[in-house]
Amino acid sequence: MNRIYLDNAATTPIDKEVIAAMTHVMENFYGNPSSIHAQGREVRTLIERSRKTVSSLLNASPAEIFFTSGGTEADNTAIRCGIQAFNIKHAITSKIEHHAVEHTLEMLLKQGIIEKLSFVNIDSKGNIDYKHLEELLSTNDRSFVSLMHANNEIGTLTDMEKVGDLCEKYDAIYHADTVQTMGHYKHDVKKLKVHFLVCAAHKLHGPKGVGFLYVNSSIKIAPMIFGGAQERNMRGGTENVYGIVGLAKALELAYTDMEAHQSYVQNLKDYLKNRLKEEIEDISFNGETDADKSLYTVLNVSFPAMEMADMLLFNLDINGISASGGSACSSGSNIGSHVLNGIGADPKRPSVRFSFSKYNTIEELDKVVEEVKKLVAQNVGA
């Protein structure tokens, strides 16, 4: 069976050029980058060259880039260390953030490190209420704001410039979870009023287990992981050299002809959206779907209420289609998706997240529509 992979928001296939770059390092460079001998210095050069590549693409300084094990560690470091560095007692987030953000802030509240956790209002499509955000900023002491650039389940985009302006106005620290958008949009940190950005390489055709944290040079934080003096005393532990080289190569490739890539993938999303609307009655879409308001790699589809709704993804899988999804909370035993629950989605309607990459084709999407149409017809009203 030729499988169709439409779960790129979860992880992406590694680009062959990235594999080649990593393999070259594995085969030829083995020194510990902390060693002062020739082999160590060679590997240290590879890391710093990768750091320079990443920083130049973000218009940042190399000193502002710290390599991590991925997006979760980067988010945790930004939140925990950013809050503690400035003794901040009030944090602002939303009910539809990734658990790497939500659970970290909840734990800090439970531990008494922060005294108050506020949730900014969102509408039924996942859009931030910026007036409410300003109210929260203006009526509390200095705040830590953690809001993702694009929601990983429904794709709705947050205006980072607008959030940054508000945070600057009220002297707040701003952390943006950019795991889903790094490598898909250009981030110019000289223009964005943001203190922290994060990356997970496997979301942009790079390897798993590596990412980075951007820390604006205007602030200083202590490390979260202690050990050696790696990452300029900001993250103990021998560096994942092959992963770092792969990350830099993947980001470099992503920035090459990015506009053409965006256009191609946006066309895939629009095509599937329109075909599903034509072929299946009573479907809708979770989150924003307009190109200027939504992440172009994600389409979250809400299907008609059906018996055995939780089997829809399973049936897609056994028919060769890889996607993800769920439903809003409908019972104590089924916690469902906190994102769909947060936007008030109908718990009786199963949802599927289709997420695209440069490796998908229109022909694949035609097959997906045929299979989905068949499965819905078999289950609705059954």
> Residue 251 falls within a domain, yes or no?
yes
For residues 191 and 263, membership in a common domain is answered with no
> Residue 212 falls within a domain, yes or no?
yes
pLDDT surpassing 90 at residue 123: yes
For residues 160 and 220, membership in a common domain is answered with yes
3-state secondary structure of 235: coil
At residue 326, the pLDDT reads 65
Residue 376 has a CB neighbour count (10 Å cut-off) of: 20
For residues 248 and 274, membership in a common domain is answered with no
For residues 25 and 70, membership in a common domain is answered with yes
Backbone angles phi, psi at 92, to 5 degrees: -125, 130
pLDDT tens-digit profile of 180-210? 999 999 999 999 999 999 999 999 999 999 9
pLDDT tens-digit profile of 24-71? 999 999 999 999 999 999 999 999 999 999 999 999 999 999 999 999
For residues 205 and 263, membership in a common domain is answered with no
pLDDT tens-digit profile of 208-251? 999 999 999 999 999 999 999 999 999 999 999 999 999 999 99
Higher pLDDT, 126 or 332: 126
> Residue 6 falls within a domain, yes or no?
no
Provide the CB-side half-sphere exposure for 94 (13 A, CA). 31
Amino acid found at 106: E
Q: How many domains does one find in the chain?
A: 2
pLDDT band for 381, please (50, 70, 90 cuts).
low
pLDDT tens-digit profile of 332-371? 435 678 999 999 988 888 899 999 999 999 999 999 999 9
| Full-model pTM | 0.95
Integer Rg of the chain from CA: 22
pLDDT tens-digit profile of 148-180? 999 999 999 999 999 999 999 999 999 999 999
For residues 195 and 330, membership in a common domain is answered with no
Encoded tokens for 123: 């509408």
Stretch 116-121: mean pLDDT, rounded?
98
At residue 348, the pLDDT reads 83
pLDDT band for 311, please (50, 70, 90 cuts).
confident
**Choosing from 81, 167, 199, 329, which is the catalytic residue?**
329
For residues 137 and 47, membership in a common domain is answered with yes
How far, in Å, CA of 148 to CA of 157, rounded? 8
Length of the chain: 382
Q: Nearest-CA neighbor of 215 among 199, 232, 194? A: 194
- Residue with tokens 């050069």, as numbered in its chain: 45
Q: Based on the residue annotation, tell me whether 81 is a catalytic residue of this protein.
A: no
Burial (0-12, 13-18, 19+ Cβ within 10 Å), 268:
buried
At residue 329, the pLDDT reads 45
How far, in Å, CA of 270 to CA of 356, rounded? 11
How far, in Å, CA of 242 to CA of 208, rounded? 11
Stretch 134-141: mean pLDDT, rounded?
96
pLDDT surpassing 60 at residue 72: yes
Cα→Cα distances 220→63, 71, 83, 85, 237, Å: 12, 20, 11, 7, 20
Write the DSSP assignment of 56-120 as a string of letters. Answer: HHHT--GGGEEEESSHHHHHHHHHHHHHHHTT--EEEE-TTS-HHHHHHHHHHHHTTSSSEEEE-
For residues 310 and 165, membership in a common domain is answered with no
CATH of residue 284's domain is 3.90.1150.10
Residue 153's domain comprises 16-255
For residues 264 and 342, membership in a common domain is answered with yes
pLDDT surpassing 90 at residue 305: no
pLDDT surpassing 60 at residue 269: yes
Average pLDDT, the chain: 94
